[in-house]
Amino acid sequence: MHIVIIGNGVAGITAARTLRKLSDHRITVISGESKYFFSRTALMYIYMGHLTFEQTKPYEDWFWEKNRINLVHDHASSINTGAKQIALQSGEMISYDKLIIATGSRPRTFGWKGQDLRGVQGLYSLQDLQTMIDRTNHAKRAVIVGGGLIGVETAEMLYSRKIPTTFLVRETRYWNTVLPDEEAAMITAHIREHSTIDLRTNTELREILDDGNGAVRGIITSTGEEIPCDFVALTVGVEPNIDVVRSSAIPTGRGVLVNEYFEAEVPDVYAAGDCAEMRFADTSQPSRIEPLWYAARAHGERIAKNICGERQSYKRATFFNSAKFFDIEYQTYGTVSAQLKNGEDTIVWQDADGKRLLRIIFAKDVTKRVLGFNVMGIRYRQNVCTGWIERGASVEEVLHNLGAANFDPEFFPQCEQFLVEEYNRKTAQNLVLKRKRGLSSVLA
């Protein structure tokens, strides 16, 4: 059987590797971006000179041939599901028995005037990175539009080259659609500590100005202010990259429509990762796109297993994500929303310097089971935190053993103590933090 995968991101590559582990099928991976798989989340470190492109490749180049995974560096331009063929930009045709579409995302735009000018771009691909490097080599001022994770990474990249940057964020605080107030305030203040970054909250982009030669010369904000600049990064989110699918018979919505087994509505076609939009058998549940690294990896693995006969529906793992806001590391586990939901309670501790924060979300009912954690400026152990959530451990049990989750217990012993004190204040209890920080008792 010939299995063809379009897209060599983490979804496509995980599918290919898992298929190879489980089977002897013929595997071809097509990618227009790069011949070899690289870590997209490390793009910023190439720009900042911390890593070379070679160092972002998790596998040596010989790995693919040795594992009989055929790599085709080309762009798929159309899919004929009747003939089971893919046309490549080079003119070549590739036949498949099963097809996995793993074409990822692309930056979103909102039809702003001037968004196609030279010097205006998103940050998603290697090609985007190259144009950003070229364009910012001599940039005098930059503007970033949109305050998500890619926005703050772009700000750090420009800061590393000391390029004065105006950072436009529509909300009252950085990312406060996702972060609770304390976290959003902490990160907003931290971004503002960086002297070349001018963070403007409550401010949107109205228009991008042309220099008369097709390049950007400035922008106008929603308040009517004109800001001269020669580089604009549009970081207002991503959307599924499904151009190659739209011209085919494969049904799409926002992404490629799949069921809980990642099967598209055409035989022998699957979709995984950022480009897949999952519809559920329970039609009261809205369809879902999961534009996340860890989810894409899980999708790829599940599809490969399903193709190899271990057919099971996708079960979303306990949510986990990690990122960095300049110097502050961030990890989030389980459910932590910007606003508490019905039935949720929370305790939070943050240090006076505004560089470390711990939050636990737990159920208000008698179980008091933990639902989520936000950890900033401290590194916690993923298996411990997700283990507590999955086991339904109570907040008191978690607080008692909190030191076991800390990755660097020698450095941060006091944080846990402060959170326990916060809980005692809130509930008039006298809970004591366990001093022994053994993992075994917690994981048992």
Ligand X SMILES: Cc1cc2nc3c(=O)[nH]c(=O)nc-3n(C[C@H](O)[C@H](O)[C@H](O)COP(=O)(O)OP(=O)(O)OC[C@H]3O[C@@H](n4cnc5c(N)ncnc54)[C@H](O)[C@@H]3O)c2cc1C
Residues in the site for ligand X, rule: CB under 6 A?
6-12, 30-33, 40-41, 43, 75-76, 102-105, 123-125, 149-150, 153, 241, 244, 273-274, 291-294, 296, 321, 323
311 class by beta-carbon count within 10 Å (0-12 exposed, 13-18 middle, 19+ buried)? exposed
Rounded distance between C-alpha atoms, residue 151 and residue 331, angstroms:
17
Nearest to ligand X of 53, 294 (CB atom): 294
Q: From the CB of 397, what's the least distance to ligand X, in Å?
A: 29
Nearer of residues 76 and 415 to ligand X, judged by Cβ = 76
Q: Which residue, 291 or 413, is less far from ligand X as judged by CB?
A: 291
- For 70-108, the DSSP string reads EEE-S-EEEEETTTTEEEETTS-EEE-SEEEE---EEE-
Minimum distance, C-beta of residue 213 to ligand X, in the bound complex (Å): 29
User: Can you tell me whether residue 55 is helix, strand or coil?
Assistant: helix
Q: What are the φ and ψ backbone dihedral angles of 144, each rounded to 5 degrees? A: -115, 135
Report the residue number, 150 or 191, with the smaller CB distance to ligand X: 150
Pairwise CA distance, residues 359 & 330, whole Å: 12
Which C-beta is closer to ligand X: that of 4 or that of 442?
A: 4
Least distance CB 432 / ligand X (angstroms) = 36
Q: Which is nearer to ligand X, 273 or 403 (CB)?
A: 273
- The token duo for 374 is 């936000």
Question: CB of residue 443 vs ligand X: minimum separation in angstroms?
Answer: 25
> Least distance in Å: CB of 32 to ligand X?
4
Nearer to ligand X, 209 or 271 (CB): 271
The DSSP secondary-structure symbol of 135 reads: H
Residue nearest to ligand X (CB): 104
Give 339-354 as a DSSP string.
SPPTTEEEEEEE-TTS
Instruction: For the CB of residue 256, give the shortest distance to ligand X in the complex, in Å.
Output: 11
What is the C-alpha to C-alpha distance for residues 67 and 17, in angstroms, rounded to an integer?
A: 8
53 vs 418, which CB is nearer to ligand X? 53
* Cα distance from N-terminal residue to C-terminal residue, the chain: 43
Distance CA 414, CA 400 (A): 13
Query: Which residues on neighbouring strands pair with residue 114, listed in sequence order?
Result: none
CA dihedral 276, 240, 295, 11 (to 10 degrees): 80
Residue 215 CB, shortest distance to ligand X, in Å, is 24
| 354, 186 Cβ separation under 8 angstroms | yes
Nearer to ligand X, 46 or 402 (CB): 46
Minimum distance from CB of 126 to ligand X (Å)? 8
Least Å distance, CB 278 to ligand X, is 13
Q: How far is the CB of 329 from ligand X (least distance, A)?
A: 11
Going by C-beta distance under 8 Å and a sequence separation of 6 or more, which residues neighbour residue 86?
A: 4, 6, 30, 76, 78, 79, 80, 93, 94, 95, 96, 99
Question: At a CB cut-off of 8 Å and minimum separation 6, what does 276 contact?
Answer: 101, 240, 255, 256, 258, 262, 289, 290, 299
| Cα–Cα dist 370/168, whole Å | 35
C-beta closer to ligand X: residue 43 or 361: 43
